[in-house]
Structure 1
Amino acid sequence: MVTNKHINKIVVIIMAMAVVICVLAGIVVGRSDKYAENANILMEYPSKLFDTNEVISVNIKMDEEEWNEMLENAMSEEYYSCDVEICGTTFKNVAIRPKGNTSLSSVARDPDTDRYSFKLEFGHFMEGQTCFGLDKLILNNNYADATNMKEAIVYDMFNFIGAASPLYNYASISLNGEYKGVYLALEAVEESFLLRNYGTQNGELYKPESMGMGGGGGDRYKQEQGAKSQQGPSGGMPDHGDFNPQDKPDMEGDTPGAPPQMPDMEGFDPANMPSPPEGKAGDGHTGNNGGANLNYIDDNLDSYSVIWDGEITETSDGDHLRVVTALKNISEGNDIEKYLDVDNILKYMAVHTFAVNMDSLSGNMAHNYYLYEHDGKLNLFPWDYNLSFGGMSSMGRGGEDSDKGTEMVNDAIDTPFSGTDFFDTLLENEEYLEKYHEYLRKLTEEYVDGGRFEETYNRIGSQIDALVKEDPTAFYSYDEYKTACETLYKAVKLRAESIKGQLDGTIPSTDEEQKQDSAALIDGSEIDVSAMGAHSGGKKEGNPESQDNNSVKHSKKKSG
């Protein structure tokens, strides 16, 4: 017969084991534990929101005065509360705010439009709430993209080739039932994205932003988290008693309650920025950009401040040290596969190179990417391709009279990142170079020539044509949209033709070789790059009077 003493020992042991199991489970789940309560819902959002066979409907239900206030103070990127009905399901007390870098400041300055991009965070005011498992949904306004589909097609390429990248779809946006336009819906690269791609693996995520203009990077994320921790029980701000914000000290030059003043960028053209002595005009990043260009600088963590400022997950000096250690070893060519997810980065490079996106690591701007680190190994995730296929004004390296179409179509595949040494180690390795070329060949022969591009192009057109035609806030007219789409189709086809020639050696594949022998280049002079949308936003280059669908510019006005 078992004595009470022995029974007590057994109970204690069982309880201790249970505690250990719970602790271990908590460690494994880590920051993703808040999603673990309903794991069967967790992965519903890829099919619920991002089944590209059907445009999703997003109806924002919000007091019109608060909506107008949010738009008037868009530069502050402050979250407001709303209800959102998505595909028939209503989510309560969802946080919404305008988002963006250049697109945000450009729309804020433009008296003729209030078409902002938006970020929806489902658990900001109601902790644990998700949208079918998605923590945050991005609604992009298609700024500077007359085609309304450049970014979608690039993300489709990433998906086709198997690179880790955000899911995408189109969304018909309404405010209190009134149609506001067709937007590109994207999976935010944050908690849900990491969980979908890496399970409960606890890696660290950064979004370096060398432009220093917000737009969803780490500083913005930390502000969101800080605001969340200050919420009252109903999701609003806590009670501060008799505190009056008007009693704050007078800040000389500041208007109480006004958004921060942005520099006047009217007429800004990246083509006028100083060019490096070698490589592509527009390539080469000024200084070290606080590490944003991913070049190894030294062992001092402070030298990489822009990376750390862009933290999405909460990180420490120990986490930062692993990143610097990886960058150092990559720069020295040491045990590359220990420090880089080589296969995924080669896929990233292939699609990025095909897309000719100078608003990124391959241009002046060391931004528009996510850096992921796990166990000392680095990876990259893509972001922001509305200016792909030559949309940055820095295309046209030969000056005002240069043939931008031909330059874009023939952009050299073996010197795509002239300003970032990070990629040189891979391209100097014959095995990795061959694999990179293999992925480029897959894009040209299977994606473009194999019919996937045409299928995607036709599908998107059939889905959004009518929505674009009736879009009351569109940056471009319907006729401009149709012309832009036709131009994009030709551009992708010619780009594939040039890449195939560069791969088989009939067309030079480096910048220097193309300068010495331009006769073999594909003629892209028929491609009007600016027709597809340009850095100037909703106005085609050389056509400042570009008008809306009804041939009357819609002025910025309050809803209702």
Structure 2
Amino acid sequence: METFKYILLIFLLSGASSCRDSELEDDVSSDYDSSDINFGDINIETPDWTESTHGKDASLDYEVVFPDNEVLRIDITIDEENWALMQNDLDENLGSSGGPGGGGADIDFTPVWVPGQIEFDDREWYKVGIRYKGNSTLQNAYRSGTDKYPFKLDFDEFEEVYPAIENQRFYGFKQLNLGSNYDDNSFMREKVAADIFRSFGVPAAHTAFCAVYLDRGNGSEYIGLYTLVEEVDDTLPETQFADGDGNLYKPDGTGASFAFGTYNDTDMDLKTNEDESDYSDVEGLYNVLHSEVRTSNTEQWKSDLEGILNIDQYLKYLAANNVIQNWDTYGNMTHNYFLYNEGGKLIWIPWDNNESMQEGKMGGALSLSMSEVTSSWPIIRYTMDVEEYESQYKAYLSEFVNGAFEPTKIQALYSAYESLITSYASQESSSFSSGVSSLKSHVEQRYEAVINYLE
């Protein structure tokens, strides 16, 4: 038994790399003592297991996991000892003497994983890896004392500890996210924004409304209406691209701005093909952006740029993002986007849209003209300095507000979702109705703003 404990400890502290799919980044924390985790009996039984619901080779069931016309229910059970470990981990890293605390600095640690049970549709998923996620969302949840934390789920995180759950999946999905709808009285922004992006031809994660109940040793309690969000590096490349084997990056940090002198591989966070560690595509984008031919030979620069960045898709994303007013991303913040290499060209994938569809913070969302954007954000500034690209961007603005974001259509969607989630959302916020009303007004205002800008 002592030998097993030693092997287990070494395994966990080394990051559990042997139990991960090669295409997924291992983010097991090394900031905690794994011997504190309560694993219980490792010889578990899995009576609810079926290949279609739990097996690795199961087809991805988007209709079950990400429906648009129902609120899912997920029950999470974490034993009292492991719940206390999760809270102690936050105290050590976010408390007044152990981390950002009230200062709002970026989180620089990976929260502890613990095993727990997930119940859904009268089935159990066993010893699922559960941890907190997020940055400002997590910090604000911690400071407010709420139990409504954002969670990440990994269904075979602890497969080396519990052999019975080897390659456990949730209807084909290995990882999922539970977004807490932080600072969103409408509880819709995360879901609607991602769905609108996809309907406009911009790759984005699938989402669903989800009522979450938590038992941490004192019985099951409703903790809130969440948004279940697809993990981009788990399933999106294989389902939304013809070639699912390309490099996938989640840029974050100074280098994610692509400003002159900022590029470094460490800010690119390669999520796939880690063994090759080939960053030549994102470095190539940086080099093209700052090439001297940008000002001396515009046609050559355009050709070089279009050889490394899917510029048409980027302009489509940019138009949609500016219309819905998504401030917490590139142009204001150096995070919340992915880049995927399909056929040698990088494609933009938006991420974390819970603060979209409003004027926003940190100076607010970008204007439609983006005239205030400087060379500190060269992907925007340098593309908008090209008349051809600016014209295409404007064409996409018009297409977006007359199609995917047409006011009467979106207002009808808001009304349908209001009816769907009101019994859950009203338990958490007395401002739910006004939050939905503000979204309905917002889409009208944005339509008028685009028409006035284009005129």
Determine if the TM-score, normalized by the shorter chain, exceeds 0.5.
yes
Closer, same or farther in 2 for the Cα pair 1:334/1:481, shift >3 Å? same
The 8 Å contact of residues 330 and 339 in structure 1, kept in 2 or not, is answered as no
Q: Distance in 2 between matches of 1:47 and 1:416?
A: 42
Q: Distance in 2 between matches of 1:372 and 1:448?
A: 25
Q: Distance in 2 between matches of 1:124 and 1:201?
A: 23
Work out which of the residue numbers 406, 411, 431 in structure 1 matches 2:367.
Answer: 411
Which AA in structure 2 matches 1:201?
Answer: G
The 8 Å contact of residues 206 and 371 in structure 1, kept in 2 or not, is answered as yes
Alignment correspondent of 1:446: 403
* 1:128 is aligned to 2:167: yes
* 1:102 is aligned to 2:53: no
Deviations 1:239-296 (A, max 9, x none): xxxxxxxxxxxxxxxxxxxxxxxxxxxxxxxxxxxxxxxxxxxxxxxxxx2x210235
Deviations 1:34-78 (A, max 9, x none): x9x97873331x211111111111111232342343234245511
Closer, same or farther in 2 for the Cα pair 1:322/1:362, shift >3 Å? closer
The 8 Å contact of residues 206 and 307 in structure 1, kept in 2 or not, is answered as no
Closer, same or farther in 2 for the Cα pair 1:197/1:38, shift >3 Å? farther
The 8 Å contact of residues 85 and 91 in structure 1, kept in 2 or not, is answered as yes
Secondary structure of the residue that 1:190 maps to in structure 2? helix
Which AA in structure 2 matches 1:458?
Answer: S
* 1:490 is aligned to 2:454: no
* 1:116 is aligned to 2:121: no
Deviations 1:224-248 (A, max 9, x none): xxxxxxxxxxxxxxxxxxxxxxxxx
Alignment correspondent of 1:322: 281
Closer, same or farther in 2 for the Cα pair 1:159/1:416, shift >3 Å? farther
Question: How does 1:498-509 map onto structure 2 within 5 Å?
Answer: 498-503=449-454, 505=455
Q: Distance in 2 between matches of 1:55 and 1:417?
A: 40
Question: How does 1:351-430 map onto structure 2 within 5 Å?
Answer: 351-363=320-332, 365-374=333-342, 376-390=344-358, 392-395=360-363, 411-415=367-371, 417-418=373-374, 419-430=376-387
Question: How does 1:164-183 map onto structure 2 within 5 Å?
Answer: 164-176=203-215, 177-183=220-226
Q: Distance in 1 between matches of 2:313 and 2:59?
A: 24
Alignment correspondent of 1:203: 246
Q: Distance in 2 between matches of 1:43 and 1:341?
A: 27
Q: CA deviation at 1:416?
A: 7.4
Q: CA deviation at 1:179?
A: 1.8
* 1:189 is aligned to 2:232: yes
Closer, same or farther in 2 for the Cα pair 1:122/1:40, shift >3 Å? closer
Q: Distance in 2 between matches of 1:469 and 1:307?
A: 40
Closer, same or farther in 2 for the Cα pair 1:193/1:498, shift >3 Å? same
Q: CA deviation at 1:158?
A: 0.2
* 1:64 is aligned to 2:80: yes
Q: Distance in 2 between matches of 1:383 and 1:367?
A: 9
Q: CA deviation at 1:456?
A: 1.8
TM-score of the aligned structures, taking structure 1 as reference length: 0.60
Closer, same or farther in 2 for the Cα pair 1:100/1:38, shift >3 Å? closer
Q: Distance in 1 between matches of 2:178 and 2:71?
A: 13
Secondary structure of the residue that 1:339 maps to in structure 2? coil
Secondary structure of the residue that 1:184 maps to in structure 2? strand
Deviations 1:2-28 (A, max 9, x none): xxxxxxxxxxxxxxxxxxxxxxxxxxx
Q: CA deviation at 1:163?
A: 0.7
Closer, same or farther in 2 for the Cα pair 1:195/1:449, shift >3 Å? closer
Which AA in structure 1 matches 2:353?
Answer: Y
Q: Distance in 2 between matches of 1:451 and 1:38?
A: 42
Q: Distance in 2 between matches of 1:128 and 1:307?
A: 30
Q: Distance in 2 between matches of 1:134 and 1:161?
A: 25
Secondary structure of the residue that 1:490 maps to in structure 2? helix
- Structure 1: give runs of 5+ residues left out of the alignment: 1-28, 211-288, 397-407, 506-560
Closer, same or farther in 2 for the Cα pair 1:502/1:445, shift >3 Å? same
The 8 Å contact of residues 407 and 444 in structure 2, kept in 1 or not, is answered as no
Q: Distance in 1 between matches of 2:130 and 2:213?
A: 14
Secondary structure of the residue that 1:42 maps to in structure 2? coil
Closer, same or farther in 2 for the Cα pair 1:484/1:351, shift >3 Å? same
- Structure 2: give runs of 5+ residues left out of the alignment: 1-20, 25-50, 94-109, 160-165, 295-300
Q: Distance in 1 between matches of 2:338 and 2:422?
A: 32
Secondary structure of the residue that 2:404 maps to in structure 1? helix
Q: Which has the larger radius of gyration?
A: 1
- Farther off after superposition, 421-430 or 460-469: 421-430
The 8 Å contact of residues 238 and 245 in structure 2, kept in 1 or not, is answered as no
Which AA in structure 1 matches 2:452?
Answer: G
Q: Distance in 2 between matches of 1:180 and 1:114?
A: 7
Which AA in structure 2 matches 1:117?
Answer: P
The 8 Å contact of residues 448 and 454 in structure 1, kept in 2 or not, is answered as no
Closer, same or farther in 2 for the Cα pair 1:447/1:416, shift >3 Å? farther
Calculate the aligned-residue CA RMSD, in Å: 2.8
* 1:140 is aligned to 2:99: no
Secondary structure of the residue that 1:91 maps to in structure 2? strand
Deviations 1:506-556 (A, max 9, x none): xxxxxxxxxxxxxxxxxxxxxxxxxxxxxxxxxxxxxxxxxxxxxxxxxxx
The 8 Å contact of residues 326 and 376 in structure 1, kept in 2 or not, is answered as no
* 1:304 is aligned to 2:273: no
Closer, same or farther in 2 for the Cα pair 1:192/1:199, shift >3 Å? farther
Which AA in structure 1 matches 2:436?
Answer: C
Q: Distance in 1 between matches of 2:390 and 2:378?
A: 15
Secondary structure of the residue that 1:461 maps to in structure 2? helix
The 8 Å contact of residues 128 and 153 in structure 2, kept in 1 or not, is answered as yes
Deviations 1:125-168 (A, max 9, x none): 23422211112111011112222112222112102201110001
Secondary structure of the residue that 2:58 maps to in structure 1? helix
Q: CA deviation at 1:312?
A: 2.0
